[in-house]
A and B are shown apart, each in its own frame.
Chain A
Amino acid sequence: MRLFWELCKLSFQRQLTYRAATLAGLATNFFFGMLRAALMAALYGARQEVAGISLAAAITFTGLTQATIGYLSLFHWYEVMNSVYTGDISSDLLKPMGYFSFWLAQDLGRAAVALLMRGLTIMLAYALVFDITLPRSRAQWLALAVTLALSWLVSFSWRFLVNLAAFWTPNARGVGRFVFGLSWFTSGFLMPLRFFPEWFQRLCNLTPFPSTINTAVEVYLGLLTDLELFRALLGQVLWAVALIGIGQLVLRAGVRRLVIQGG
């Protein structure tokens, strides 16, 4: 366990040194946020509320989703496949900790920096420019903290799983691009899932993706009753457990067929 936190700390510190990249990322995320907010306002037109979401809440939604791009590595994360392709995996497998935990620790450090430096900053910038909504009670803030942590765990678990495709195909990137594209659509990143037709929402809920973003957004906006909140959090836990379990099985199968070219 100490090893885990040391790795996590190292990754945290390394991430902190990429200041220029953080700044550029912030500018880009914020600019796109402005575009998405304008789009949302144009969609609402004269409407006050759609599917239980007010315009202010919908604009806050665009901020929230832009703020989690870094935290959940929404656009790409191909580190495990790169280590399979370069052969770095051979030395990583020799380390005295599980391969999953090895990456989990590093991603935790990375995600923490992204949440603090990019996530919080974007929400602050949004608060300056727009009239955003905030969680209303201490319980809601607490639920938000829990759901955000679970979001990261579910997100990491599926990203890890997709990366394992590298054991079987020389073009795991193509597979990755496909799944990432699918995740924007079905996680509620592009639009709150409540805006979509019922049948589509049901389809999305068959995948783990709503547990990464849509749940966190609904908790933040206070759209859930106590019972719904409990079920949403439980759903996140179950998806995390399932994805980690499948990840372990696939990893074991993958390592068995791994051939390292001596170099």
Chain B
Amino acid sequence: MRTALDLYRRLIGVQIRSQLQYRVSFLVDLIGQAMATGVWFLSLALILQRFESIGGWTLGEVAFLYGTVETAFGVMDLLFSGFDPSFFGQQVRRGSFDQLLLRPVNITLQVLGGEFVLRRIGRIVQGAAILAVALALTDVRWTAIKALYLPVVLGSLVCFFGGLFIIGATITFWTVESIEAVNIFTYGGSEMISYPMHIYQNWMRRFFTYIVPAIFLNYYPALFFLDKPDPFGLPPFAPFLSPVAGVGVLAVGLAFWRFGIRHYQSTGT
């Protein structure tokens, strides 16, 4: 375990140093990344001057959903860059994944440490800023439980998105190319839970409740933090299922990953 952590630290350290070599380039990357994701929220904030609310939720309340998703997705995208389906699919196609398999080190650790895209920090900062706006605009009645639960919710979201990335990466064992449809779950899922779930049609919401348990990750916690009533009448412990859903999806992803590696046949390149 010690050696594993040490190895991970080294793998990441090399990448951080190399990406910081070109300072200006890195700065441009950071700004570009924050821009690309920040404009969505900015445009929402601007048009809400005219519309006032989204399905009864104010800008600050939606910002809570949006900020938690953006922050967590940014952290996940940083930690799990190696499993990014489009990046990982390339490795499978080129056969560089086969090289990793030959090394006497845990394969998951190697993939995890194989890529670390530092510019994602731009997205994390942007997400944290939106979350700060949310907390400033809504007056959350803070209790000890709420203060302790917020980091748990963020951690659960990271696990959830990480699990989706791992599932998407594993699928490329069979498809070789990264399939764009996987984006529906990763980017589509994150986009969807950035807004209150009651604005969607029933079939969509049910899919993201019972098949992909996305609704528990930040919508139900948001109801708890903002003291809002539950429009769907789930049991009162529903807001606290966030870690169950997050860790659960990550566990399913890892199980699928191990299954994929056992059946991996390589492309022969």
Question: Cβ of B192 and Cβ of A35 under 8 Å apart?
Answer: yes
Q: Which residue of B lies closest to A174 (CB)?
A: B28
Residues of A within 8 A of B25 (CB): 169-171, 174
Q: Which residue of A lies closest to B35 (CB)?
A: A181
Question: Cβ of B181 and Cβ of A24 under 8 Å apart?
Answer: yes
**Would you give the 0/1 interface string for B177-191, flagging 1 where the beta carbon is closer than 8 Å to chain A?**
101110110001001
Question: Cβ of B29 and Cβ of A185 under 8 Å apart?
Answer: no
User: B70 to chain A: closest CB distance in Å?
Assistant: 14
Question: Cβ of B54 and Cβ of A190 under 8 Å apart?
Answer: no
Asked, given contacts A32-B188, A195-B50, whether A25 binds B32 with beta carbons under 8 Å apart, the answer is no
Report how far A31 CA is from B183 CA in the complex, Å: 10
Residues of A within 8 A of B29 (CB): 171, 173-174, 177
Question: Cβ of A171 and Cβ of B28 under 8 Å apart?
Answer: yes
Residues of B within 8 A of A171 (CB): 22, 24-25, 28-29
Q: Does A115 contact B (CB under 8 A)?
A: no
Question: Cβ of B43 and Cβ of A43 under 8 Å apart?
Answer: no
Q: Which residue of A lies closest to B28 (CB)?
A: A174
User: B171 to chain A: closest CB distance in Å?
Assistant: 12
Tally of chain B residues near chain A (CB < 8 A):
42
Give 7 nearest A-B pairs by CB, closest first.
A177-B32, A42-B199, A24-B180, A174-B28, A42-B55, A171-B25, A181-B35
Q: Does A246 contact B (CB under 8 A)?
A: no
- Given known contacts A27-B184, A45-B51, A170-B22, what 19 new A-B pairs fall within 8 Å (CB)? A24-B179, A24-B181, A25-B180, A38-B199, A39-B54, A39-B199, A42-B54, A43-B47, A51-B50, A175-B32, A178-B28, A178-B31, A181-B35, A182-B39, A185-B43, A190-B39, A191-B43, A196-B46, A197-B49
Residues of B within 8 A of A177 (CB): 29, 32-33, 35-36
Residues of A within 8 A of B39 (CB): 181-182, 184-185, 190
Q: B28 is contacted by which of A45, A175, A191, A195 (Cβ under 8 Å)?
A: A175
Chain B contacts to A: CB under 8 angstroms: 22, 24-25, 28-29, 31-33, 35-40, 42-44, 46-47, 49-51, 53-56, 119, 177, 179-181, 183-184, 188, 191-192, 195-196, 199-201, 204
Interface contact tally, CB-CB below 8 A: 111
Report how far A24 CA is from B182 CA in the complex, Å: 9
Q: Does A28 contact B (CB under 8 A)?
A: yes
Q: Which residue of A lies closest to B192 (CB)?
A: A35
Q: Does A200 contact B (CB under 8 A)?
A: yes
Report how far A139 CA is from B181 CA in the complex, Å: 38
User: B149 to chain A: closest CB distance in Å?
Assistant: 27
Asked, given contacts A39-B199, A42-B55, whether A182 binds B35 with beta carbons under 8 Å apart, the answer is yes
- 24 A-B contacts, Cβ less than 8 Å apart? A20-B177, A21-B180, A28-B188, A31-B188, A35-B188, A38-B201, A42-B54, A43-B47, A45-B56, A50-B50, A169-B25, A171-B22, A171-B25, A178-B36, A181-B32, A181-B35, A181-B36, A185-B39, A185-B42, A190-B39, A190-B40, A191-B43, A191-B47, A196-B43
Residues of B within 8 A of A31 (CB): 184, 188
Chain A contacts to B: CB under 8 angstroms: 20-21, 24-25, 27-28, 31-32, 34-35, 38-39, 41-45, 50-51, 169-171, 173-178, 180-182, 184-185, 190-191, 195-197, 200
User: A199 to chain B: closest CB distance in Å?
Assistant: 10
Q: A180 is contacted by which of B22, B36, B201 (Cβ under 8 Å)?
A: B36
Residues of B within 8 A of A180 (CB): 36
Q: Which residue of B lies closest to A51 (CB)?
A: B50
Question: Cβ of A42 and Cβ of B181 under 8 Å apart?
Answer: no
Question: Cβ of B199 and Cβ of A28 under 8 Å apart?
Answer: no
Residues of A within 8 A of B49 (CB): 197
Residues of A within 8 A of B188 (CB): 28, 31-32, 35
Report how far A175 CA is from B32 CA in the complex, Å: 7
Q: Which residue of A lies closest to B178 (CB)?
A: A24
Residues of B within 8 A of A175 (CB): 28, 32
Report how far A38 CA is from B205 CA in the complex, Å: 11
Report how far A178 CA is from B125 CA in the complex, Å: 16
Of B33, B37, B47, chain A has the most CB atoms within 10 Å of the CB of: B47
Report how far A40 CA is from B174 CA in the complex, Å: 38
